[in-house]
Amino acid sequence: MRHGLPFLVVCIATSCGTPVFGPEDEAAIRAVMADQEVAWDRGDVGGFMEGYADSVCFVNARGTTCGKAAVTANYRKHYPDKAAMGDLTFSDLEVVGAGPEHAWCTGKWQLVRGVAGARSSADTLGGGFSLLWADGPSGWRIVRDHTY
């Protein structure tokens, strides 16, 4: 026991200072996603992309695109103006810590385009996503986006 006590003290002392993923981290991620909805709804692709890390990789049925500039270019190509962008809503969000500096977020997205009252199913797009987040100098940012 005499030799085990110092080891136990060191283990306890070093684990007490270990950061963990907490409620404030989840709140920060949810805030970034809320900011993304607002930016998208005003037609601001650049503002929407502030939630992404420079090293992001975006994966969908068309393939994988890596790098924030390339992902931004794809968004601008497929959503050239506010009418094409429509209104974005995220729902059913679940945020799960994956260590002190990473988290997964899963959920659903819906994009509604068209004139109120005249919307058809062709004007509404939707699906799901899983996002890998990393906490860095700029705060929580998406490093992997798998949207389907």
Within a domain: residue 9? no
Within a domain: residue 51? yes
Within a domain: residue 50? yes
Domains contained in the chain, number: 1
Domain that holds residue 97: 21-147
DSSP strands (E only) in the chain:
52-60, 63-66, 87-97, 102-112, 124-136, 139-147
Within a domain: residue 4? no
The CATH number covering residue 62 comes to 3.10.450.50
pLDDT at 116: 57
Average pLDDT per 10 consecutive residues for the chain, totaling 148 residues: 49 58 98 99 98 98 98 98 96 98 99 71 88 98 98
